[in-house]
Amino acid sequence: MIHMKSSLLLLPLFTLTLIACSPEDSAQTADPAPAAATDQDPVPALPAQAESGTDSVAGLTWAIPAGWEKQAQRPMRAATYSTPPAEDDGEPGEVAVFYFGPQQGGTVDANVERWLNQFDQEDGRPTSEVAEREAIEVDGMPVTLVRASGTYNAAAGPMAPRADLRPGYRLIGAIVEGPEGAVFFKFTGPDRAVVEQEANFDLLVDSIQHD
């Protein structure tokens, strides 16, 4: 399990230009992540599973949790994994990995802001006021973890209309500041599906090593 060095509620982030935060538009930031809140009580996470293989990009290597299926190569992504759906729910979660090159992909704060701006809260508050942000270290590298939930705007790009809205979604994001540049891990999906696989996502992050 990951040992967190600090954890605090996100304060409102400074407004950054939307274009700088869009990987789809300019490959300057990581693709946003999903999250969603529900009225149900939190679902206990399932026991973490053993790894089913490894993957790598930009000098980083990590373990792929058992039960996660690697998907075909997709534009702008270093890797994509499908995670098991929750019981009685046919929709799986998705973990997308992004790498844009040394000193590319935008700042950590810009990407966190972009991810959170994809979520709406029922009471109208900014998601940054209710999300969680953690700063940890893995294999000597700074890692920023973000957790949020709400109604997720799944439309691609910051300028896209808020048309593909998905209530009850959750996001866990990890930004690893590696020696060859930032690598972004974005886990999104239905609330229960993400909660049940959170321990495995933590294991993935904790397993990251650099050459």
* pLDDT higher than threshold 70 for residue 7: no
| Gap between the terminal Cα atoms of the chain | 22
Q: Is the pLDDT reported for residue 54 higher than 90?
A: yes
Residue 172 lies in a domain: yes
111: left (phi over 0), alpha (psi -120 to 50) or beta: alpha
For residue 48, being part of any structural domain is answered with no
**pLDDT bracket for residue 157 (50, 70, 90):** low
Which range is least confidently modeled, 8-22, 46-60, 111-125, 154-168? 8-22
Domain that holds residue 75: 28-40+55-210
On the question of pLDDT at 33 being above 50, the answer is: no
Residue 79 in any domain: the answer is: yes
Task: Read off the pLDDT band of 160 (50, 70, 90).
Answer: low
Q: Which residue has the higher pLDDT, 145 or 26?
A: 145
- Asked, for residue 159, whether it belongs to a domain, the answer is yes
Tell which residue, 82, 48, 88, 53, has the closest CA to residue 68.
Answer: 82
At 158 the pLDDT is: 58
Quick check: is 108 in a domain? yes
Give the CATH number, domain containing residue 160: 3.40.1000.10
What does pLDDT average to over the chain?
A: 81
List pLDDT tens digits, range 98-128. Answer: 999 998 999 999 999 999 999 999 999 999 9
Q: Does residue 74 belong to any structural domain of this protein?
A: yes
Domain count, the chain: 1
Q: Which residues of 27-45 are buried (b: 16+ CB within 10 A; e: fewer)?
A: ebbbbbbbbbbbeeeebee
Task: Please report whether residue 2 resides in a domain.
Answer: no
Q: With respect to residue 13, please indicate whether it lies within any of the assigned structural domains.
A: no
Q: List all residues 6 or more positions away from 91 whose beta carbon is below 8 Å from its beta carbon.
A: 85, 189, 190, 193
Q: Is the dihedral of CA 154, 134, 11, 27 positive or negative?
A: negative
Rounded Cα–Cα distance for residues 94 and 194 (Å): 9
**DSSP notation for 172-184:** EEEEEEETTEEEE
